Chain A
Amino acid sequence: MLKILKYSIYDLLRSRWSYVYFIFYLILGFVLLFLNNDINKAIITLLNIIIVLTPLIGTIFGVMYYYNSKEFTELLLAQPIKRSTIFMGQYLGVSISLTLSLVLGIGIPFVLYGLFKSAAIFDFGLLLVVGAFLNFIFVALAYNIALANENKIKGFGYAILVWLLLAVVYDGVFMILAIKFQEYPLDKFALISMMLNPIDLSRTLILLKLDISALLGYTGAVFKEFFGTSLGLFISLFVLFTWVLIPAWLINRKAGRKDF
């Protein structure tokens, strides 16, 4: 698997897209710091961007890489290599190289700006962890979509649809339900809803670290009580892991049954 991983990363490092992504984050990091001059504020802005863009880029990049490396995959399939090795290697290759772009792209400007001396380093670390998780989750979803669709256009379409569902529609449905049932106690419902969607969960995790929970009144207390404990954090990370593992397992299953 390491060989495949190596070749995938090698292949990605040669494609200009990972550089575009890296440079995008690099510029973003610098611009944010120069405009704000305040690491804490930059982190909030960064949060907005990471929560929205990382999943989108992960999805599109994942689908694109699958279709672009179809030949490579077919070549590998005729070699004495296990199927799951090929696909897991590629999946990890894409996820890791995207995560590297993210961590380096954002990390470099922040480190240059004196992050290590700042108290924000923990929040920043959490932000990167969450960004990495989102990468792994959405690349896995993208690979599933691409494996299920031979047609590129369809594949891209579904990928964007999945992103839209999780990033926008889910929240919209949640809001409508919350407004509709506002007479009932909603804090548990809100908590569970936010736990189930990786984008919402990531956002909530970071916002609570930035102590936005006070704005939430009673619901905030419930959230704080949950996420503040190590059990809550453990469960959150477990949910994020599950969001990586299930799609990754599905990749294996789908790839094992697919004809090339």
Chain B
Amino acid sequence: MPIFKKYRFLLIFAFGLYASVFSQSKIITVCATCEVKSIKDGVALAQDGDTIFIKKGTYKEHLITINKSVHIIGEDKPVLDGENNTESIFTVKATNFSISGLHFINVGMSYTKEIAGIFVSKSENFELKNNIFDHVFYAFIIQSSSYGVLKNNQIKGESKNETSSGNGVHMWKCDHMRIEQNNISGMRDGIYLEFVNKSHIYNNTSEHNIRYGLHFMFSNHNEYYQNEFKSNGAGVAVMFSKFIEMHHNTFHFNWGSASYGLLLKEIYDANIHDNVFEQNTIGINIDGCSRIDYQKNHFIRNGWALKFTGGCYVNTFEFNNFMHNAFDLSYNSRLNDNKFEANYWSEYNGYDIDKNGIGDVPFRPVKLFSYVVNNTPETLVLLRSLFVDIINFSEKVSPVFTPDNLKDNKPLMNPIDPIKD
């Protein structure tokens, strides 16, 4: 290898020469004192493959239309001020482009139009990264596009109510997207995905959004992992979707009378594993979902760890930790077609004579009180009263109201290992 090392510099130089001479791409610099003073002018001058370099400063522009393969790069986060006009700052319809390093502010609000910092439609192969958004109606709206990357953007809103606010990332009819390492807070929905397939959402933080941290509709074959969803108004909603992988996410502090860590509605064939649900009013609200595997999730100090509402079939729950929830399970029917096995339940007080780590008597996660509360929510004020303990005990001894076969036959004596990521 010494030879290669010796000529490495030469090689790189030769390649650079080739690129600049033969591709003929150029760099257009935009700044207040430059020849090109506005981004719009810069874009107009650019051709496919060019880079527009925006220097530090404030640019009061909107409706910058991009329809060629350009790379827009901001230096020291130049500010793009939309001055609350009801037009998007960038509208893009192109392939092979990127926008990065910009600071978007004051994108106007409208009740009739969707207005964003960056509005992308019918595009392919793009990267939108390292941008900052403040006071924007929507940060990103992406429609009918594919192979896009949204990376390391900081989106911060000050939404007050649902009708007058927009989403952080709003995608519609997209596929093969990657949303990673973004920080979204104070929007309506942190991330809203509708008809988005085969995409990956990971390492994002979505918190203090007034509705959902992540909102997922009619989107199949997606995977989201290692995200943190915290203190969102309603939590995370995943609806009407199939083949979703959800793992290593943290859902916590989604606390409020209509909040949950995760709402699953009409979800089929999903895998949910290694997630942490901590201190949510409802850990997972499961409404009409079937064929889902729940493994190694941690349910810690939620109001309800799991709440079943609609018919749910052939779901399995294995190796999960249920710790110190007010209710581990709330069940709406007396029939059970779901399997609970080998979970750890902090309320389990059975014994393990043969010391194999598995309790010798089954655990019944549904309490009579949770059945009563289901029918008459007001009775919840009796939570932790002696009377409730007594009726729960009597139900435990001889189940009358709760499904007889809903039990964990192999309850673990010790919690499963906390996840390491």
Which residues of chain A have a CB within 8 Å of any CB of chain B?
Answer: 41, 44, 47-48, 51-52, 167-169, 171-172, 174-175, 178-179, 182, 186-187, 189-190, 193-194, 199-200, 203-204, 207, 211-221, 223
Which residues of chain B have a CB within 8 Å of any CB of chain A?
Answer: 255-259, 281, 301, 303-304, 324, 326, 372, 375-388, 390
Q: Are A216 and B381 in contact (CB under 8 A)?
A: yes
Contact of B381 among A172, A194, A221 (CB under 8 A): A194
Q: Are B380 and A171 in contact (CB under 8 A)?
A: no
Q: Are A182 and B376 in contact (CB under 8 A)?
A: yes
Contact of A214 among B259, B372, B385 (CB under 8 A): B259
| Closest CB in chain B relative to A173 CB, distance in Å | 9
Which chain A positions have C-beta within 8 A of B378?
178, 182, 186-187, 189-190, 216, 219
Complex Cα distance A204/B380, Å? 11
Which chain B positions have C-beta within 8 A of A189?
378
Q: Are B380 and A219 in contact (CB under 8 A)?
A: yes
Complex Cα distance A199/B390, Å? 16
Which chain B positions have C-beta within 8 A of A223?
381
12 contacts between A and B (CB under 8 A): A51-B384, A167-B386, A178-B376, A203-B384, A207-B383, A213-B257, A216-B257, A216-B380, A217-B258, A217-B380, A219-B377, A223-B381
Contact of B255 among A169, A194, A214 (CB under 8 A): A214
Which chain A positions have C-beta within 8 A of B281?
214-215
| Closest CB in chain A relative to B202 CB, distance in Å | 29
Contact of B382 among A47, A171, A186, A217 (CB under 8 A): A171
Instruction: Count chain A CB atoms within 10 A of each CB in B255, B258, B303, B379 and give the residue with the most.
Output: B379
Complex Cα distance A221/B256, Å? 9
Complex Cα distance A190/B257, Å? 17
Q: Are A51 and B376 in contact (CB under 8 A)?
A: no
Which chain A positions have C-beta within 8 A of B390?
168
Q: Are B384 and A215 in contact (CB under 8 A)?
A: no
Q: Are B387 and A171 in contact (CB under 8 A)?
A: yes
Residue of A nearest to B303 (CB): A215
Which chain B positions have C-beta within 8 A of A193?
381
Residue of A nearest to B377 (CB): A217
| Closest CB in chain B relative to A224 CB, distance in Å | 9
Q: Closest 6 A-B residue pairs measured CB to CB?
A: A171-B387, A215-B303, A186-B378, A182-B376, A214-B281, A190-B378
| Closest CB in chain A relative to B173 CB, distance in Å | 36
| Closest CB in chain B relative to A60 CB, distance in Å | 16
A179-B379 contact in complex given A203-B385, A212-B326, C-beta closer than 8 Å: yes
